[in-house]
Amino acid sequence: MSNKKHPEYQYLDLMQELLDSGDRQEDSLTGDVTYSLFGKQIRFDLSEGLPLLTTKKVYWKGVLHELYWFLSGQTNIKYLVDNSVHIWDDYPLRIYNDKRDKEGWPELTKEEFIANISTDTDFANKHGELPFIYGQMWRNWPRRDGGGVDQLQWVVDEVKNDPHCHNAIVNSWNPEYLYGMAKPGEACRFPICHNMYQVNIKNGKLCLQLYQRSADIFLGVPFNIASYSLLTMILAKITGYVPGEFIHTFGDVHIYENHKEQAREQMIREPFAFPKVTISDEVTSLDNFRPEHVILGDYQSHAPIKAQMAVVGGFNQKIHKKDESEL
C-alpha cells in the first residue's frame, strides 16, 4: 500500500495555515473579516483523477455548466439560470438595483429577478448581461478597433503548432474595464479573480497554471480547482495530449471569519480517492464541446458543509464611484 499523502491535503493544509497564521484584514466595503496569506501554490497530477474535493461535496453541476458558459464565450446568465446554476445571480441584480431608481424600473426581489430572467427573454437580454466576464475575455477580448480576439482558440492553435511554446496565455485582467482605471460607467461590477492562466507541454502532457489574484479558500477554491482541472483535461483532449498537472498559484488566499468553524469541521475528515472523468471522443474543438460530453465517475465525498457566500469584489462604490451619473 502506498504511503503517499493524498493530494487533497495540500488544500486542507493551506486552510490550516490560514487559520494558524493568516493576516487579519477587513473589507473596506462590507466590513467582512478575513485571514489571508500571499503567494501560495498547490498542484495536482491529473493522472490521479479529477481533484474534485472529497472532504465535502463540491457542486459538480455548477462546475460543469459554468465552465461551458466560459468556453462558449457567453455573457448572459440566462444559460446558467435555465440549467439551475445560480452562482452568478447576484451581480446582474446588483447592476439592476444600482440603475433602478434612475431608470424607473420596479423594485424586485432576487427571486422575482431570476424568475424574469428565466421566463422573459427580453428581460434577460436587457438585464442578464455581465459584460467583460471571463467567457468574453477568453473568446472575444475587446480590441480598440471594435473587433475581438479569441485568446483561447489562439492558445489551442499555438499548442498544436508549437508544443514548445511559452506564450500560450489567456488573460482576463483588462485594466480598461476594472475599478477606477475604467472610464465612467464602464467598470465591471463583479470580481475578476482568476485573472490569467498559461498552458504548457511537459513530457508529452498538457499542463495548465492558473494565477488567481484573490481566493476564498473555503467556498471558492474547491470550485476553482475542479473547474480549471477540467479545463486542462478538455484542452488536452482537443489538442491531442494527455492531461498533466494543474498548478494553482494564489495571490491573496484567505478564509472568512464566519467560515472558520466549517473549515475545522472539514479538516478532520479523511479524503476519499479522486473521481475519474471521461471526455467523449466527439470533442475535437472548443466550439463542439458540450457539457454532456463529460462523464464523472466514482465520486465519493463527505456531506456538504454550508457557509454564507460573500458578494464582494469587482466595483467598490465607496472607493471607485465618482458620481451617480456613472451608474
Catalytic residue numbers, as ranges = 193
Strand 169-171 versus strand 194-202 pairing type: antiparallel
Which residues, other chains included, contact 16 with Cβ-Cβ below 8 Å and sequence gap of 6+?
Answer: 267
The SS3 assignment for 26 reads strand
The Cα–Cα gap between 34 and 259 comes to 9
- Please give the grid coordinates belonging to residue 302: 463527505
DSSP 8-class letter at 308: P
Greatest alpha-carbon span in the chain: 67
> Residue written as cell 467567457?
135
Q: Do 249 and 274 meet the contact criterion of CB atoms below 8 Å apart?
A: no
Number of CB atoms found within 10 A of residue 304's CB? 10
Q: Do 172 and 134 meet the contact criterion of CB atoms below 8 Å apart?
A: yes
Looking from the CA of 254 toward its CB, the CA atoms found within 13 Å total 19
Per DSSP, helices labelled H in the chain are 8-21, 60-71, 78-82, 90-103, 110-119, 121-127, 134-139, 151-161, 220-239, 260-267, 317-320
